[in-house]
Amino acid sequence: MMRIISGRFKGKKLLLPKDKNTRPLKDLVKESIFNLLEHSKKINVNLKGSTILDLFSGCGSFGIECLSRESGCVYFFENYFEAIKVLEKNLLLFKNEKKFQIFKDNCFEYFDSDKKIDKKFDIIFIDPPYKEMKINMLIEKIIYRKLLKKDGILIIHRHKKDKIVITEKINILDTRTYGVSKVYFAN
């Protein structure tokens, strides 16, 4: 079971896909990420009114937490049909609001195409399957498309034993390990 940790919908339960093809963001990791966002002296981002890009959204746990904490808008990217169905059900909490958009696309293909998102983001959350190895390619597409605001933050969630060295084209502000998760905060 997953829940919303804080904000307007604190305590509400989130649905999870029934199969094992989606790895949900654990509540402990999510809570730790938001504590760092709100209290770190290294990271200067205000969730209230912010614009969020949630890549590999799954059931939407990260982006929905942002919405509950009054972010301005969240763009969810997910291409797995079962996860999209659950994401749409979870977003019914916000059915009367126009504060989110779902892209039913593979983000690698989307960023390789001529399609555009005419937004710059305060936070870009990258949480692909642990087996995904093209993280740096995705980061470089984000840089090339100038999707992150000047003072925005990239949050990258990986397995702590992941061997990928994150590109030097971004500035790693902090790295935290929570259980099997390793989280990078960068700009």
Strand partners, 105: none
Task: Tell me which residue has tokens 């890009």.
Answer: 53
What's the pTM?
A: 0.94
User: What average pLDDT score do residues 174-184 get?
Assistant: 91
Task: Tell me which residue has tokens 């770190």.
Answer: 40
DSSP 93: G
For residue 142, is pLDDT > 80?
yes
Phi then psi for 66, rounded to 5 degrees? -60, -45
Q: Which two tokens stand for residue 75?
A: 């763009």
State the pLDDT at residue 130: 83
User: What average pLDDT score do residues 11-22 get?
Assistant: 84
Helix (H, G, I), strand (E, B) or coil at 36: helix
Question: What's the pLDDT band for 22 if we cut at 50, 70, 90?
Answer: confident
State the pLDDT at residue 99: 92
> What's the chain's average pLDDT?
90
Q: Which two tokens stand for residue 22?
A: 């989606």
pLDDT in tens, 55-80: 999 999 999 999 999 999 999 999 99
